């Protein structure tokens, strides 16, 4: 909460307003996973700021709103970790949170998948790969045995998510192992919205599936295409949407949805977009 307060105070100073000017707070917070956590975070925000209307959302939900206003939608938010949420009409959104498996955890999961492939390659269970030398160089080690021991003892010199951009780089150079890891990752994380679509029987519905988070900014890879093809195999009418806005803008849009009952005036949206562009919060420049 100290970090939240510091960021909010900085934003207030840049906007040249005070906390007393706030009418509403819309907060997409990491750790807002369970109802009791959301209540606790709302209490902490009320202790910091005098706004009457304070709402806390899981940060995955503001990422979703940064990509679509449709009532039936889902989001894959892949950054250092992964979170997924689905919403079907008037039902409350379901956020996967702790249901996400370790190997699907965004850049961390990709790093773990890359290391797994390197170890299997070392013993001959998988073909040789450029990823071996890439990882040894990144972690400053001379051989795979030392890499394996450091990984098992949690003594790597850098976080494993730092291997992720190098994995995409190797894929762009057509390394078969890197390409296969990205393909398997895309298929694996597609399971979450697919499971929800099948569970609710909406395979033929018009749905938006929003892609947000840093991993989807990596261009020249097949990640988005793999996700789209896997989901369309089950739900052909789904639209894969790259979020137009960074998640923090989605938090503001949720407030505006409430104020205008879901019909935000064009002039207000134009002002929102202009502000987002000024603050470098647009993810898709051509999105209107």
Selection from 218, 166, 211 nearest residue 192 by Cα: 211
Mean pLDDT of the chain: 94
What is the per-residue DSSP string for 153-221?
TT--SS-GGGGHHHHHHHHHTT-HHHHHHHHHHHHHHHHHHHHHHHHTT-TTS--EEEEESGGGG--SS
H runs (alpha helix) in the chain: 2-15, 35-48, 59-65, 106-122, 131-139, 144-152, 164-172, 176-199, 223-234, 247-259, 266-278
Two tokens, residue 56 = 């806390």
**pLDDT greater at residue 3 or residue 284:** 3
Instruction: Kindly indicate the confidence band of residue 247, based on its pLDDT and cuts at 50, 70 and 90.
Output: very high
pLDDT score recorded for residue 262: 76
Instruction: Round to whole Å and give the CA distance between 88 and 73.
Output: 6
pLDDT greater than 50 at residue 111: yes
Residues of 34-51 as b/e, b for ≥16 C-beta within 10 angstroms?
Answer: eeeebeebbebbeebbeb
Q: What are phi and psi of 237, to 5 degrees?
A: -95, 0
Contact between 209 and 193 (Cβ < 8 Å): yes
Please give the average per-residue pLDDT across 189-214, as a whole number: 96
Q: What is the pLDDT of residue 169?
A: 93
Find the range with the poorest average confidence among 176-180, 189-193, 214-218, 223-227.
Answer: 214-218
pLDDT tens for each residue of 12-69: 999 999 999 999 999 999 889 889 999 999 999 999 999 989 999 999 999 999 999 9
Distance CA 174, CA 151 (A): 26
**Residue 284 pLDDT > 80:** no
Neighbours of 28 (CB within 10 A): 23
Ramachandran class of 89: left when φ > 0, alpha when ψ lies in -120 to 50, beta otherwise: left
Identify the CATH assignment for 103-185 out of 3.30.420.40, 3.20.20.140, 3.40.640.10, 1.10.3720.10. 3.30.420.40
> What is the structure's pLDDT at 220?
67
The percentage of residues in the chain with a pLDDT greater than 90, rounded to a whole number, is 90
- Alpha carbon 162 to its chain centroid, in Å, reads 16
Q: Which residues contact 118 (CB under 8 A, 6 or more apart)?
A: 129, 131, 132, 135, 144, 147
Tell me, rounded to whole angstroms, the distance of Cα 198 from its chain centroid.
22
Question: Over 90: is that where the pLDDT of 91 sits?
Answer: no
Indicate the domain borders of the chain: 103-185
- Could you tell me the two tokens for 250? 């989605």
Res 180 pLDDT > 70: yes
Report the SS3 class of residue 10. Answer: helix
pLDDT of 219: 73
In the prediction, which pLDDT does 218 show? 81
DSSP symbol at 92: P
Residues 6+ apart with CB under 8 A from 100: 81, 82, 83, 84, 192
pLDDT surpasses 60 at 74 = yes
Per-residue confidence (pLDDT) for residue 287, from 0 to 100: 42
pLDDT reported for residue 285: 62
* pLDDT over 80 at 288, yes or no: no
Percent of the chain with pLDDT strictly greater than 70: 98
In the predicted model, what is the mean pLDDT of residues 87-111? 93
Least confident span in 59-68, 220-229, 234-243: 220-229
Residue 162 burial (CB count, 10 A) = 16
Q: What are phi and psi of 29, to 5 degrees?
A: -120, 135
């Amino acid at each position: 909460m100290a970090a939240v307060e510091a960021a909010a105070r900085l934003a207030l100073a840049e906007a040249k307003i005070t906390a007393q000017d706030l009418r509403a707070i819309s907060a997409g917070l990491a750790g807002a996973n369970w109802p009791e956590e959301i209540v606790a975070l709302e209490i902490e925000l009320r202790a910091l700021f005098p706004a009457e209307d304070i709402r806390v959302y899981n940060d995955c939900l503001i990422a979703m709103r940064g990509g679509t206003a449709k009532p039936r939608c889902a989001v894959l938010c892949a950054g250092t970790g992964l979170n997924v949420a689905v919403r079907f009409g008037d039902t409350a959104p379901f956020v996967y949170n702790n249901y996400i498996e370790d190997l699907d955890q965004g850049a961390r999961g990709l790093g773990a998948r890359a290391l797994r492939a390197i170890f299997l390659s070392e013993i001959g269970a998988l073909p040789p790969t450029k990823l071996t030398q890439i990882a040894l160089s990144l972690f400053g080690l001379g051989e795979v045995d030392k890499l394996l021991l450091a990984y098992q003892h949690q003594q790597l010199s850098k976080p494993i998510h730092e291997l992720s951009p190098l994995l995409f780089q190797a894929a762009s150079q057509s390394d078969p192992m890197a390409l296969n890891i990205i393909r398997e990752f895309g298929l694996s994380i597609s399971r979450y919205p697919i499971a929800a679509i099948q569970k609710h029987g909406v395979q033929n519905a018009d749905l938006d599936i929003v892609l947000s988070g840093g991993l989807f900014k990596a261009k020249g890879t097949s990640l988005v295409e793999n996700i789209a093809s896997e989901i369309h195999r089950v739900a052909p009418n789904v639209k894969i949407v790259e979020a137009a806005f960074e998640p923090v803008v989605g938090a503001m849009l949720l407030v505006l949805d409430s104020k205008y009952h879901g019909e935000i005036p064009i002039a207000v949206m134009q002002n929102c977009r202009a502000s987002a562009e000024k603050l470098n919060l647009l993810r898709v420049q051509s999105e209107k």
